[in-house]
């Protein structure tokens, strides 16, 4: 009985998590914002290694720290 109760609790928690995710994706404002950011993804990926500054300006977010996104620097000493 205890095992079944734990399985039921786990299932309900998974369902609640999925509902939280779908709530965002059904919101038209969220989807509009996501689409705007996704459209700029290639430019962002290109700009990170080229930009010598530690921050890149992103519309709607302001300055975003990008030093930790420069993966190539992590392997320079190898």
From 36, 60, 38, 63, select the one nearest 51 (Cα to Cα): 63
Domain co-membership, 30 together with 59: no
Q: Does the reported pTM lie above 0.85?
A: no
Is residue 7 helix, strand or coil? helix
- Domain region containing 64: 46-78
The whole-angstrom distance between residue 12's C-alpha and the CA centroid of its chain comes to 25
pLDDT(72) > 80: no
How many domains does the structure of the chain reveal?
Answer: 2
pLDDT of residue 23: 67
Asked if 28 contacts 39 with a C-beta cutoff of 8 angstroms, the reply is: no
pLDDT in tens, 4-42: 999 999 999 998 888 877 766 677 888 888 888 888 888
Who has greater pLDDT, 56 or 5?
5
Same domain, 33 and 59: no
pLDDT of residue 70: 62
Whether 32 and 52 share a structural domain: no
Among candidate residues 27, 53, 25, 59, the one with its CA nearest the CA of residue 40: 59
């Amino acid at each position: 009985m205890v095992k079944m109760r734990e399985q039921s609790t786990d299932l309900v928690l998974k369902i609640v998590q999925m509902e939280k995710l779908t709530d965002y994706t059904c919101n038209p404002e969220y989807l509009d914002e996501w689409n705007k950011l996704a459209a700029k993804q290639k430019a962002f990926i290109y700009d990170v290694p080229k930009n010598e500054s530690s921050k890149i300006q992103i519309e709607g977010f302001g300055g975003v720290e990008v030093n930790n996104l420069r993966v190539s620097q992590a392997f320079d000493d190898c």
